[in-house]
Amino acid sequence: MVTIRSITELIITIIQRIGVKIIKYTFLLTYKELFGRPTDQIEIINYIKSLNYHQVFLVASRLNALLFERYLDNEKAKETYSRLQLEYAKKLNTKDKNFISSLFYSHIILSPQTLLQLNKYLLAYGINGSLQDLDQNAFEYVWQVFDLAIMINDHLTSLNEVQNNRTAASY
């Protein structure tokens, strides 16, 4: 029987045989790693309902463009993303700042899968606010997107699962 898994395995085998190296695995930062417990779907939904949906959606869209440029090895995009991620690390209220810093140097917050899932959540559960240009609190919306991203990353395939199963999603 043909399954998605068997098709994916075939595609990966073909890609490997022709020598194309397109799969790059990166550690995604999760809420569980930062705060010791994973989030559940209800927590994500309630957080989204508390946000200005349109502002966060607009920021998520801009971060998606930044992420795309980062994957294209645009040095300015890489630098901007790294600075945003480090500023977010400073904003977190945690006791062990050294541990947090090490996580932020070895992990990323956003992946294409994270942003895709985040957009699905926003479309399904975002309800308040009005569409307009970003206001003066733009960084707060970036932080809200990052908050959502680490919560959503709890529900994406982990690197251990990927290493144990080559057909899992790549990041």
Give per-residue pLDDT as tens, 84-128.
888 888 888 666 767 777 777 778 888 888 888 888 888 888 875
**The pLDDT of residue 169:** 41
Within 10 angstroms of residue 154's Cβ, the number of other Cβ atoms is 18
In a domain, 18, yes or no: no
Task: Number of helices (H) and strands (E) in the chain: give both, helices first.
Answer: 9, 0
Give residue 96's domain range: 29-155
Secondary structure letter of residue 154 according to DSSP: T
The residues, ordered by sequence, that sit 6+ positions from 6 with a Cβ below 8 Å of its Cβ are none
Where do we find the tokens 């949906």? Answer: 53
The tally of domains found in the chain comes to: 1
Residue 24 φ/ψ, nearest 5 degrees: -125, 120
The answer to whether 88 touches 34, Cβ cutoff 8 Å, is no
Nearest Cα neighbor of 67 from 21, 30, 118 is 118
In a domain, 19, yes or no: no
Q: DSSP letters along 10-79, please?
A: HHHHHHHHTT-------PBP-HHHHHSS---HHHHHHHHHTS-HHHHHHHHHHHHHHHHHHHTT-HHHHH
In a domain, 21, yes or no: no
In a domain, 39, yes or no: yes
Give per-residue pLDDT as tens, 25-49.
678 888 888 888 999 989 988 998 8
In a domain, 170, yes or no: no
In a domain, 98, yes or no: yes
In a domain, 57, yes or no: yes
The residues, ordered by sequence, that sit 6+ positions from 55 with a Cβ below 8 Å of its Cβ are 129, 132, 134, 135, 141
In a domain, 2, yes or no: no
Banded pLDDT at 76 (limits 50, 70, 90): very high
Predicted confidence (pLDDT) at residue 60 exceeds the cutoff of 50 = yes
Distance, in Å, from the CA atom of 120 to the CA atom of 112, rounded to the nearest integer, reads: 12
